[in-house]
Amino acid sequence: MKCNVSFEYELFGNVQELEGSLQKLLTAAKEAVGLSYAPYSKFHVGAALLLSNGEIVKGSNQENASSPAGICAERVALSASSSVFPQEKIIAIAITYHNESAEEEADNIVSPCGICRQSLLEATDRQQSPIRVLLASPSGKLILLENAAHLLPLAFSASDL
């Protein structure tokens, strides 16, 4: 028997097509790109979380010469959020990047790595409500998913233990 895993997402051509709260969140993620420490890969990632209290928490990737000891932007933001605002739910996360090695502004939309997908799933499970995911290319192309769990089909979670 063959089965399919699928989900819906929205594709936007530019930030002006987004609702105001997501526009603000994406601006914060772009600011977080500038906080990245990526001297080895030259691939700077910024993430920003919108919390239920209206706060925005930023994160950026932090590399380390002792690779793979670095930490991704998404997990920096998730850790900061749970440390500073442990009772607040995460409404949405915006993620964007800048590749220093690219000759021109990239149109490619990248998504979180496997560890970050698992971390987002854990946050979703812990708060028992979905986290919206906004993925943005440097050129302005955008994808919006209504639930971070869509990024990790057939996931392993606490309910499997």
Residues belonging to the active site? 74
Separation CA 49–CA 81 (nearest Å): 8
Separation CA 145–CA 33 (nearest Å): 21
Helix (H, G, I), strand (E, B) or coil at 74: helix
Separation CA 62–CA 146 (nearest Å): 27
Separation CA 5–CA 48 (nearest Å): 28
